[in-house]
Chains A and B, each alone.
Chain A
Amino acid sequence: MRLNKILKNTLLVLTACLVLSACATKKEVATDIQGQMQGDVYTGTDTVKYLADGVPDRVFFATNESILTTASRETLRAQAAWLRKNPGINVVLEGHADERGTREYNLALGERRANAAKDYLMTYGISSDRITVLSYGKERPVDSGSNPLAWSKNRRSVTVKAN
């Protein structure tokens, strides 16, 4: 077919025209903005609410990561202690991603982050029956900014009372 031939030629030309930069992929490393970020993990308190005195409701993550930082583990231990003291309370762990990813992958990533928090709570004695995981992906940012600080606030798992 003539069409096929033309198509092939065009593809060749277009491919040849493409200039791809040759640098390896790196994570976007954000700078420390006013002491509110470490690496690209949010360390500020702007958006944090408290489940009880000294019990922050959320933990933050690095880009594309679901690893709990030292500060996050401390927060979750406080949450576990509070849950042990209040055995009647169940929680939903809401996992979120920033806007710099595709929607479907971010849904999975939010689930993975909330599960990291859930696993940690369970190792501190909280039964999985009391914990529900819910991912919002990039659908519910707390900060509508398009900058590294806003994104760092949005990469989070929030513990919400379910009853």
Chain B
Amino acid sequence: MTKKILILLFILIPINANALIEVDITRGNLNPLPLAVSPLSIDEESRKGFEKILKKENIGSEISNIVENNLRTSGLFNPLDKKAFLQAPDIANLKPRFEDWNLIKAQALITGKVNYVDDKLRVEFRLWDVLAAKEMMALAFTTVPNNWRRVGHIISDKVYERLTGEKGYFDTRIIYVSEEGPKTQRIKKLAIMDQDGANNKFLTLGNELVLTPRFNPASQMVTYLSYFKNMPRVYILDIETGTQEVVGDFPGMTFAPRFSPDGKKIIMSFAKDGKSDIYTMDLENRIVEKITNHPSIDTSPSYSPDGKYITFNSDRSGYQQIYVMKNDGSDVKRISFGNGLYGTPVWSPRGDLIAFTKLHKGKFYIGVMRTDGSGERLLTENYYQEAPSWSPNGRVLIFYRETKTNSKGEGFSAKLWSIDLTGYNERQIKTPTDASDPSWSSLLSN
């Protein structure tokens, strides 16, 4: 489905090793950094060339709009109104007049230009520190014109990384379950979109119930639960080729699948005789291993990023709680001890935290705790929300939220939301239909 992007990336000028501006990403959006995203300049010939191929009047402005939108939604940056810009884009890219940008209170400036070269899209951009009057970074990309949105995302990632010191998460996709119809008879389809909601596509037709899609961190593969032929089983789907395959040969329901960090195994639950245990299946040699063996419900397994540990949900204590064990099932330890029920543990890609859903006194919370269960922090409270999934840099969580119906049972909706790890910058992610069970991909380019 997605063409592998061919991007030739080269650094125009070596990056200055000394940090100039720095954005403190641990403080949330209390004080987002004011910056100016000057539209990428474009000569008339290139503009016409892209207009013909991409049906966009000015691809330079379109790309800078993507950058501006990404940086704004991160909550860490405050892109300034273009109307206040004094310097023309082409001149600014050559050498900004820093006094002008200082005047409108921009602390950083992004400039660049777009060229149409041999049927390719060539983009260069520069990041400037306005106060220090210095260039911080300069990069150029060449790719096929259809990849223009991804170029905007990659620029956003580079700027984010340069200013925060951490990898970005903009050149990524979200897979989720699209929902339509009455609450008692929901039609559910797998859907995929860019992180910013663009390029939404449906991957299944809605003939059978589908749930809990999750990306393979190492490839464009997805694992999910499908009720195909009324037999709930874990499947894998290659989103490039569309081929689907049932995982393993289990005499009953398999569910709650996730990939191992290297993408080579599926970990999931298998339910039989009222018990649910955790199993893995190696995708290469098809060997199935039973990891837990307990009369309780053991589900929602998630590997640590080094693959050595597994966190999971179990009611072996009587109620749903979060546990951690070694990847062979040994050394099981309960880590959640707060008030309420805990579910859907998912290990941060940074390794230091586990995100979860908590149910306490009729409210649902998304929270995080350290991997030994200490330092529990609740990020958001609502009538119903669950199933957090981490951005690949471990800074943002995406989850879904359902609304309460009125006395007639009307008014139900399910939407995707994201929130910063700091608990700030909670926002709804727009989808064409109702949506649930989001899973965030790894960075498509590195």
Contact = CB atoms under 8 A, between A and B. Distances in A.
B184 A135 contact: no
Interface in B358-380: 359-362, 375-378
29 contacts: A3-B166, A6-B26, A11-B375, A18-B376, A22-B339, A23-B339, A23-B361, A25-B339, A28-B362, A64-B319, A101-B320, A102-B344, A102-B357, A102-B387, A103-B211, A103-B212, A104-B269, A107-B255, A107-B271, A108-B271, A109-B297, A111-B253, A111-B271, A111-B276, A134-B253, A139-B186, A143-B184, A145-B405, A145-B407
A104 B26 contact: no
A90 to B, nearest CB: 14
A108 B299 contact: yes
Contact of B409 (A108, A111, A135, A145): A145
B56 interface: no
A153 B270 CA distance: 27
B230 interface: yes
B201 interface: no
A108 B269 contact: yes
Given A104-B212, A105-B313, 13 more contacts: A15-B377, A21-B339, A25-B319, A25-B360, A102-B313, A104-B269, A107-B255, A111-B252, A111-B274, A135-B271, A141-B183, A144-B184, A144-B412
Contacts of A31: none
Nearest to B276: A108
Contacts of A57: none
A3 B271 contact: no
Interface residues of B, number: 64
A102 B300 contact: yes
A135 B253 contact: yes
Interface of B: 24-27, 165-166, 182-186, 209, 211-212, 225, 230, 232, 252-253, 255-256, 269, 271, 273-276, 297, 299-300, 313, 315, 319-320, 338-341, 343-344, 357, 359-362, 375-378, 383-384, 386-387, 402, 404-405, 407, 409-410, 412, 422-423, 436-437
B230 A14 contact: no
Given A21-B339, A22-B339, A133-B252, A139 B211 contact: yes
A101 B338 CA distance: 17
B343 A102 contact: yes
Nearest to A11: B375
Contacts of B253: 107, 111, 134-135
B230 A104 contact: no
Interface size, A (range)? 35 or more
Contacts of A24: 339
A66 B27 contact: no
Contacts of A11: 375, 377
Interface string A25-60: 100100000000000000000000000000000000
A161 interface: no
A100 interface: yes
Interface string A50-76: 000000000000001010000000000
A133 B276 CA distance: 14
A91 interface: no
A116 B274 CA distance: 7
Most central of A24, A108, A140 by chain B CB within 10 Å: A108
Nearest to A10: B26
Contacts of B269: 104, 108
B375 A15 contact: yes
A63 to B, nearest CB: 11
Contacts of B232: 107, 134-135
